[in-house]
Amino acid sequence: MRGAAVLTAAGALAGLAAAPAAAKPHHDEPLVIAHRGASGYLPEHTLEAYALAVEMGADVIEPDLVLTKDGELLARHEPVLDETTDVAAHPEFADRKTTKLIDGKPVTGFFADDFTLAELKTLRAEERLPALRPGSAEHDGEFELVTYDEVLDYVATLDRKVITYPEMKHPSYYGDKGMSIEDALADLLEERKLDKKRSPVWIQSFEYESLLNIDERVDNRIGLNIDGQGAIPDATLDEYAETLDTVSLNKNRIFPRGADGSISEPTDIVERAHERGLDVHVWTFRAENSFLPANLREGSDPAAWGDYEAEFELFYDLGVDAVFSDFPDLAIAARDC
């Protein structure tokens, strides 16, 4: 169709730079999407990371969604739990480790779809990038895993509008197992009456067909995530304009990186997408040198923060509609300057 267990503000912000006051959504300015919550500061996809992002003023929070064995939508970056939970420290689950194909490649680990939600609730979240984010890693073992339903319960308690932007992870992987992440998400949105065009829920995926499938069930705004670098033909953009609301682009699609990792002149993709009525979202903005273009890094320490303000400015000046950031406070401060 076209058409609770929340970290207190004081505790969540302890040791961080003071966050700006909570802001109302800026409909005439780029929206700030908290990528996996405030994941630069706290373990990703936890209710505490989402709550911190809201406290910082994020307009949107982004839960990645995977399916559990009993069909629940769990907020995790990937079906594999090894990098972001303490599952390996649970001897009772040692026999669950296995190898499966994701996107045609063998992956070995513990998969969320081999656990019931009750079992997953016994695990605790861990920082995915401890070497770069030791402050976040200090919270390993503190926070439980949460479902998208629980995230929606939390958002419903807020005194301002905050959009959730769930990403359906690897729909084809679940389809091959006889499971449908599209139906699970559509069922939940319909049940909560959040399946309308104006609902504060946008939907994203890297799989185009998956978006077309869920679009038959719900009227929410939908966007395709496009990785890589290089031009997107006009004919392709024309097709997307007929079927999508948003193209969500890797930064390199807009500012390509040279062989030395530096960036220079932008492409015209933002202008061409806007001409067709498509919103343009961009990912992912992070402060650490490890993720910045070579000509915006400061020093040689991969974990040190580089000139992230300059990177934000480059994209804001092009008129992008939203940015994904692990550091929503930094994105907001750069925007509001």
> Which of the following is catalytic: 27, 45, 77, 281?
77
Cα separations in angstroms, 217 against 3, 155, 169, 183, 189: 11, 23, 18, 8, 10
d(CA 134, CA 304): 12
Q: Catalytic residue at 281?
A: no
77 is annotated as an active-site residue: yes
| Single-letter code of the amino acid located at 284 | T
- Say if residues 269 and 229 touch (Cβ distance below 8 Å): no
In degrees to the nearest 10, what's the CA dihedral of 325, 44, 76, 33?
Answer: -20
Is the bond preceding residue 267 a cis peptide, omega within 30 degrees?
A: no
**Would the CA dihedral through 310, 311, 316, 322 be positive or negative?**
negative
SS3 3: coil
Please give the DSSP secondary-structure letter assigned to residue 18.
Answer: P
The one-letter amino acid at 297: R
Q: Nearest-5° angle of CA 110, CA 115, CA 120?
A: 90
Catalytically active residues, by annotation: 35, 77
